[in-house]
Amino acid sequence: EGFGKKLLRHNDKMFPSFVSDLLKIKSLKTNADDTFVVAYPKSGTTWTEEIVWLIQNNLDLEKANSIAHTERVLFLDEVPMTKCDQISSPRVFKTHLTFDYLPENIETKSKLIYVMRNPKDMLVSYLHFVKWIKGFSFTGEFDLILNHFLQNKIIYGNWCEHVNQFYECPKVLFITYEDLVEEPFETIKKIACFLGKEMSDDQIWRLVDFTSFKNMKTNESFYFQEADQTKTQNQRDLFFRKGKIGDWVNYFDEKMSFSLEQKLKCELNPNIQIRYHFSN
Ligand code: A3P
C-alpha cells in the first residue's frame, strides 16, 4: 500500500526492487579482512561505512575524495556478486540484510558492525527516502509508513527482529547512530579497536572531522555522475538530509509514539536501550 511499483518478495519479506542477487549472497566467499557494515535502512549506514573504509585504508583522505563511494564500499544487496571479487582487500561491504541471507558464519570469518538508530528518527528519514526514490513510486504520508512499521510491512522485514538478531550475536560490534552523534571520538575509537587498528588521538579527531555531516555532504565521491545538476543536488539531500537526532517530534503525536513503543516493549530485546531524546 502506498508503493506504486512492485517490491520484491521472498519468504514473507519485502525488499526494494534494486536488490539483485539476493539468493546468491549466501555463497559469497568471505575473507578475514572483510568488514560488513549492517544496519536497517536510514540508520546511519553510509556514515558508518565511510568511517570503516577510512580506518581500513589508513585514513587515505585523498582516495576517499577521488574514488566514487559506491566503488569503495560495495552495497551487497545491489551489486552483482561477480563485482565482489574484483575489488581489492581489505573489502568493505554494506548491507541491510539479516543473517539468513548473509554468507554462512560471516560473523566469525569476517568483521561485522551493526548500527541501530532510534526507530522514530529512522522512520522519518525512511519517509523522505521512499518518497524520493522514483523506483518506489510512494505516494503515502507518515501515518502509512508508521502502520507499515507496526505491521512489519516495511522493506527488510520486522525492525525488532532485525535489531535483536545482531544485538544477540556476541561477535558483532553493536553501535548506535546516537553514539556517533554524541560521542564520535569514543565511538570511532571503539570501531578502530574492533578492527584491530591502532590510531592516535590526533588521527581519530581528523576522522571525526572528515566524516562530519557538513563534510560528508560536500564530498564529491558520494555523488553519482549526473549531467543534470538539480538531480545531483537532490542526491545530496537524500543521503545527507538533516543528520540530527529528534526530527521525529515533528511527525509523531502521542498516540503514534505509544503504538510504536508498545511494539518495542513486546518485541525488542529488553536490554536494548533506545535514546529518543524527547518525549510526547
Ligand atoms: P536524516 O534523513 O535523518 O538526515 P543511511 O545511510 O542508513 O541511509 O542513513 C541516512 C541518515 O543518516 C540520514 O538521516 C542522514 O542525514 C544521516 N547521516 C549521514 N551521514 C551523516 C553524518 N556524517 N552525520 C550525521 N548524520 C548523517
Nearest ligand 1 atom to the CA of 211 is 23
Confidence of residue 44 (pLDDT cuts 50, 70, 90): very high
- Report pLDDT for 232: 61
- Distance CA(246)–CA(121), nearest Å, equals 6
Q: 43: Cβ–Cβ under 8 A, 6 or more apart, which residues?
A: 115, 116, 117, 122, 177
- Report pLDDT for 167: 98
Residue 228 has pLDDT above 70, yes or no: no
Q: Of these residues, 10, 69, 96, 148, which one is catalytic? A: 96
pLDDT in tens, 192-223: 999 999 999 999 999 999 999 999 998 888 87
Mean pLDDT within 139-163:
95
Residue 224 has pLDDT above 70, yes or no: no
- The yes-or-no answer on residue 10 being catalytic is no
Residue 239 has pLDDT above 80, yes or no: yes
- Report pLDDT for 18: 84
* Three-state DSSP class for residue 34: coil
The residues facing 14 across adjacent strands are 9, 155
User: How many Å lie between the centroid of ligand 1 and the Cα of residue 217?
Assistant: 10
Confidence of residue 234 (pLDDT cuts 50, 70, 90): low
Which cell numbers hold the place of 35? 568488514
Quick count: other Cβ atoms within 10 Å of Cβ 30? 20
- Distance CA(60)–CA(76), nearest Å, equals 23
First CA to last CA across the chain, in angstroms?
28
- Report pLDDT for 225: 57
Closest C-alpha among 258, 173, 179, 184 to residue 216 = 184
- Report pLDDT for 153: 92
Sign, Cα dihedral of 115, 48, 182, 175 = positive
Confidence of residue 79 (pLDDT cuts 50, 70, 90): very high
- Distance CA(215)–CA(19), nearest Å, equals 29
> H helices of 136-268, where?
142-150, 159-167, 177-182, 184-194, 201-210, 213-218, 229-239, 254-267
Confidence of residue 36 (pLDDT cuts 50, 70, 90): very high
pLDDT in tens, 127-149: 998 888 777 888 899 999 999 99
Residue 227 has pLDDT above 70, yes or no: no
Which of 64-78, 86-100, 218-232 has the least mean pLDDT?
218-232
ipTM exceeds 0.90: yes
Q: Ligand 1 pocket test: which of 40, 47, 69, 180 has the largest number of ligand atoms within 8 Å of its C-beta?
A: 47
- Distance CA(111)–CA(92), nearest Å, equals 10
pLDDT in tens, 49-63: 999 999 999 999 999
